[in-house]
Structure 1
Amino acid sequence: MHHATPLINTIVGGLVLAFLLGMLANRLRISPLVGYLAAGVLVGPFTPGFVADTSLAPELAELGVILLMFGVGLHFSLKDLMSVKHIAIPGAIAQITVATLLGMLFSRFMDWPLLNGLVFGLCLSTASTVVLLRALEERQLIDSRRGQIAIGWLIVEDLVMVLTLVLMPAFGDMLGSNQAISQELWTGLAITIGKVVAFITLMIVVGRRVVPWVLAKTASTGSRELFTLAVLALALGIAFGAVELFDVSFALGAFFAGVVLNESELSHRAAHDTLPLRDAFAVLFFVSVGMLFDPMILIKEPLAVLGTLAIILFGKSAAAFIFVKLFGLSNRTSLTISVSLAQIGEFAFILAGLGIYLGMLSEQGRNLVLAGAILSIMINPLMFALLERYLARDDNDSEKDHDKIEAEVAQIPLEICHHVLLVGYGRVGSLIGAKLNQAGVPMVVVENTRSRVDALREQGINVVLGNAAKAEIMSLARLDCARWLLLTIPNGFEAGEIVALAREKRPDLKIVARAHYDDEVTYIADRGATQVVMGEREIANSMIALLQLEMQEAQPESCPI
């Protein structure tokens, strides 16, 4: 391997191996995350063969965290954030406290010093941003009440960890010299809180005006490259500025950059343009986590690894479940949040690294933190799968009543027939839906965005929440007796899969789909669409028709000779 290009080597080696093992994991019906982590182990320094650059990989992974949190911020308004503060703030602080105490108790059995146990417990107390958001995205929970609480909880954890990173050196000195809490510690705490408040205030007061204005000016140039570059520059620039100027984490800075852009009309375009980069760098995050793992610790210290894993999977999850239940929320919400937090990630590595540097954590402790992170991230998708089975089987009436209060409305097959089945209610779908409503045509909408579904239900429109590519979702929308199927989603290849599913169930159904490119038109038509509408062609035809009409109206009368 040519070592003069460590950045290229790391990106290529990590992504190629992650793709291969991710595909293998998918074939084995387990989460692709397991494949990405295994790829990291294989390119890490603890296994033979090619070794990626262990200093570059974490920085590349940090880019994934920044872009992912920016994307979440684009779909998460300040109103949503404030609506869960009464649960997220006390719940996250209490859960961090319990996990830290469990880590300190564990350290007593390991004969570690008190300071070592404190740092170890803090490392186990905070969940991974990337893992939690990936789990919520896959299950379409980000826009749900459960998802909002989990994300708010995550933001509070990030803020607590930012304070912890700043105060650790002073706190270590204080405990090391057995002195009372010093003035320096209180001063450091006040300065850190002040910086966080200053950053958030700056983003809300100034950022809400400047960020949308910059993107609007860039969009007006008509250059797609400049717009994408502006989105990346703002996301990365604000995240970097948050760290350098306010000592706030990259993730928190990027999140608020997205939040201030949320109210702009360009937020959906910004989210769409950054999606491929977010996915690619998120994969590198998991690869970089795998690179830190030394598999030999499973053989050398199996009981210690199991104890660490028990704190992560059961200790802090049970604490989160209890605290959410104390607020009167349902088992469905409590279990979802507790399972979401049953893993550790980015801040655990940062805290462990700082603990090693300050002499507050042993090498053994850091190895156990890394082992706990790897194993908990691998196990987390399995816990979500078990949770979904449990929730699907649970028919408790009181549970459903709780979920209605939380707007988690149970979906049942609609009593409707001879209707238009409209997939997607974005810019195109909403225009079609409005026309159908005006004409009194019966309609069912299939939409995977929670906020849109809630808005449609408030308007009395028949709607099913979910992905139309799934047979059970189309069954709920009564594909079996629909008259028309209209696909307005912008992804032509996803539309093709929906067409194939619908055509298999209903050979006689009239299907009209939307496409952007010639290859999408062919793809969708080959799968059985009755007609495929390509936006650019229809615009051209309409303009020509208007031109011909005006030419006819302007035709001069024949002059007599």
Structure 2
Amino acid sequence: MLSGGCSVRIIFFITAVKEKRQSKISPHCDLARYTPDATRTGGRIMAHDNNLIAMIVIGFGLAFLFGTAAHRLRLPPLVGYLLAGVALGPFTPGFVADQTLSSQLAEIGVILLMFGTGLHFSVKDLQAVKNIAVPGALLQVSCTSLLGFGAALLFGWSLGAAIVFGFCLSVASTVVLMRALQDRHLMETAKGRHAIGWLIIQDLVTVLILVLLPALTGVLKGGQIDVFPLLETIGLTLGKVIAFIVLMMVIGKRVIPMVLHYAAHTGSREIFRLAVLAIALTVAFTASELFGVSFALGAFFAGVVLSESQLSQRAAEESLPLRDAFAVLFFVSVGMLVNPSILIRQPVQVMVTVAVVVIGTPLVTFMILRALRQSMSASMMIAAGLGQIGEFSFILASLGVSLGLMPKEGQDMILGASIISIFLNPLLFSFYERRRQALAAAQQETVSALTTPTEDRIPAQPESEEPDDTPVPTTLRQHAVLVGAGRVGGLIAAALLEGGKPLVVIEENNELARNLRDHGADVFLGNAASGNVLDLANVTEARLLLIAIPNAFEAGQIVEQARQRNPNLEIVCRAHFDDEVRHLQEYGADFVVMGEREIALAMLNRAETVEVRHDENPDEASPSLGFSAVAPTDV
């Protein structure tokens, strides 16, 4: 936790930077002098504008400090990022960051985040969720808009202001929900895909509202409606969206993978990484400028058309560091917009707004999903994820104010409600997690009641209403558990299954899990670092745990959880460096395989079978290569 003295020094530092940046050069000073902030060009001195650098440096610095403090207090780091934005905003003392620059940098985070999401979301996945996402999202937007509309009328606002206010409260933040799904390893689950599909429909509805709102301004202010221009606007907007999607699915599906494959064949990691960034940013920008589609939606479809390429996983890995960094700036930029005084000036109105978002929207979403015959667990998860508002709400509110439809205090209330709803969203997910665990425990008790002590295998469980969302624990005992079924784990799984060994696989990738199930494996979709997933794999009664994921430090968490549950379990891991080996052994791993070392040994074994010579005399016999006999100067 940050000490009080450290906090004071940080505030003094921010204030000093602000004072320095706000100071002006005296008209009598000697501009011919060389200074750190000036460059001589053509006989003139041109002052550098360091707004971008200062915003990035102080933005990331404060995000790190506040995020670390939030983590120490057992709060989500994004709470710290939001508070860092409040500290950088114009409504608090000290340095004031450039809001335009911060919002544009945050858009890069949104683009990379949605591009990465699209890489894990194929066209088949889109088709699979349409029957739930399309009617569900449309109903939810309509119902939440009505709740917001009613609240605005209670505030005494006009009809136009109430309509805009209702729309602002009906759309969730893409970034917040994506981060929540990623942090909980739900992206590859069926309910995670339904949530993403829901967001896509919300984005499309928002694009339509943004286009139609200026055309309807006169009507909302009490004027007459001109039907034909309105229909023309609607048709043009829908036509652009359809044209973009068709273009991406027909042409983009061929061109984008071809470009990425060319970059991969250059053998340069830098070129490949640049290709990934160029594709994501170019498609998103083109979608926005030419087709009127949001950056997020454009980047998502760029990822979708690339998802079926063999390079999609590598593309996701290359974009990950930048994606996470710029996503942090999104939360910082949100915090910068918040005027804390609105909580004092309009506390009741803000609380009503928060209630509509945090209570109203989840309840409406939950009832819609249950009516669509979705499971209890999936309904609760999606409802919890939608209990917040973000970037599209800000855009709608800003447009409403600029058109004279909504008062400025309405925009402040939406911003205040947004930051509160983002604060509270982890609590909604915690409630969902407790309920999900309760459902799983109840089902486990039902299964255990059917088990006799002498059985090696529990009788089959009758089909449940929600088989996908509340999985039944494995019935295997004295078995092997494999974590990760990628390039390494896939080979292990194939060999064990071929040998008839009892095996349970834990995998996060839905496609890999589906393929393993098709080959008869017992597979659980999720993150093995979660104790609940290890319990589903019955690691307590397992004989062997094979951790084949490449991230050794994440593997350490899995080792720790597994060792607590089964002290006698044989645990085998993989690593790349000596530090990782020590880390895994400290947590309780029995055997750690270093991939690079095994490669070196295999190559050395092969080299030992080939005769090489110490000189160029072909007539002399030479022994096989022995590295111990090679002089250091020859190596």
| Deviates most, 537-546 or 36-45 | 537-546
Alignment of 1:51-450 (within 5 A): 51-176=96-221, 178-394=223-439, 395=442, 401-404=464-467, 407-412=468-473, 414-417=475-478, 419-450=479-510
Structure 1 counterpart of 2:79, from 27, 34, 44: 34
Paired with 1:504 and 1:315, the residues of 2 have a C-alpha distance of 41
Check 1:320–1:526 CA distance in 2 against 1; reply closer, same or farther (3 A cut). Answer: closer
Q: For 2:539 and 2:619, how far apart are their aligned partners in 1?
A: 54
Contact 2:547 2:573 in 1 (8 A): yes
Higher relative contact order (CA 8 A, sep 6+): 1
Post-superposition offset of 1:149? 1.5
- The equivalent of 1:491 in structure 2 is 551
TM-score (normalised: structure 2): 0.82
Which stretch of the first structure deviates more once superposed, 193-202 or 431-440? Answer: 431-440
**Is 1:330–1:399's contact at 8 Å kept on the other side of the alignment?**
no
Match of 1:50 among 95, 98, 109: 95
1:18-72 deviations in whole A, cap 9, x for unaligned? 2222222222222222121111111211111222222211111111111111111
Aligned with residue 592 of structure 2, among 532, 535, 541: 532
Residue matched to 2:524: 464
Contact 2:474–2:522, Cα closer than 8 Å, also in 1: no
Of 355-364 and 103-112, more deviation after overlay is shown by: 103-112
Name which of structure 1's ranges 328-337 and 229-238 shifts more when overlaid on structure 2.
328-337
More helix by share: 1
Amino acid of the structure 2 residue aligned with 1:258: G
AA partner of residue 377 (structure 2) = R
Instruction: Name the CA distance, whole Å, in 2 between partners of 1:399 and 1:380.
Output: 35
Contact 1:492-1:524 at 8 Å conserved across structures: yes
Alignment of 1:511-530 (within 5 A): 511-530=571-590
Q: How many Å apart are 1:506 and its aligned residue? A: 5.5
RMSD: 2.5
CA distance in 1, matches of 2:377, 2:462: 7
1:345-378 deviations in Å (ceiling 9; x for gaps): 0101111111122212210110111111111111
1:210 to partner: Cα distance:
0.9
Shift of 1:82: 1.3
SS at match of 2:466: helix
What are the superposed Cα offsets for residues 103-158 of structure 1, whole Å, 9 maximum, x if unpaired?
Answer: 22222222212111111111111000011111222222222221121111110110
Report the Cα distance in structure 1 between the residues aligned to 2:213 and 2:70, rounded to whole angstroms: 40
Task: Indicate the SS of the match to 1:55.
Answer: helix
Distance change in 2, residues 1:474/1:311 (3 Å) = closer
CA–CA separation in structure 2 for the residues paired with 1:495 and 1:331: 31
Deviation string 1:267-321 (CA, Å, 9 cap, x unpaired) is 1111111111111111111111111111111111111001111211222322222
Q: How much identity, in percent, do the aligned residues show?
A: 51
User: What do the CA deviations read for 1:431-465 (whole angstroms, capped 9, x no partner)?
Assistant: 11111222233322222334433443343213333
Contact 1:329-1:402 within 8 A present in 2 as well: no
8 Å CA contact 1:331–1:399 kept in 2: the answer is no
* 2:185–2:527 contact (8 Å) kept in structure 1: no
The 1:338–1:504 alpha-carbon spacing in structure 2 relative to 1, beyond 3 Å, is closer
User: What runs of 5+ residues in structure 1 fail to find an aligned partner?
Assistant: none
CA distance in 2, matches of 1:497, 1:10: 35
2-structure distance, mates of 1:518, 1:500:
19
CA apart distance, 1:73? 0.4
User: Which amino acid in 1 is paired with 2:76?
Assistant: S
- Relative to structure 1, the CA distance from residue 507 to residue 115 in structure 2 (aligned partners, 3 Å threshold; closer, same or farther) is closer
Q: Distance in 2 between matches of 1:434 and 1:129?
A: 38
- 264-273 or 23-32, which moves further after superposition? 23-32
Deviates more, 1:334-343 or 1:205-214: 334-343
Counterpart Cα distance in 1 of 2:132 and 2:532: 34
Which stretch of structure 1 is more off in the superposition, 434-443 or 495-504?
495-504
Displacement of 1:503 in angstroms is 5.1
How far apart, CA to CA, are the structure 2 residues paired with 1:399 and 1:63? 48
User: Aligned with 1:94: secondary structure?
Assistant: helix
Question: How many residue pairs align between the two structures?
Answer: 554
In 2 relative to 1, CA 436–56 (structure 1 residues): closer, same or farther, beyond 3 Å? Answer: same
- SS class of match (1:441): coil
Tell me: CA distance 1:335–1:509, structure 2 relative to 1, closer, same or farther (3 Å): closer
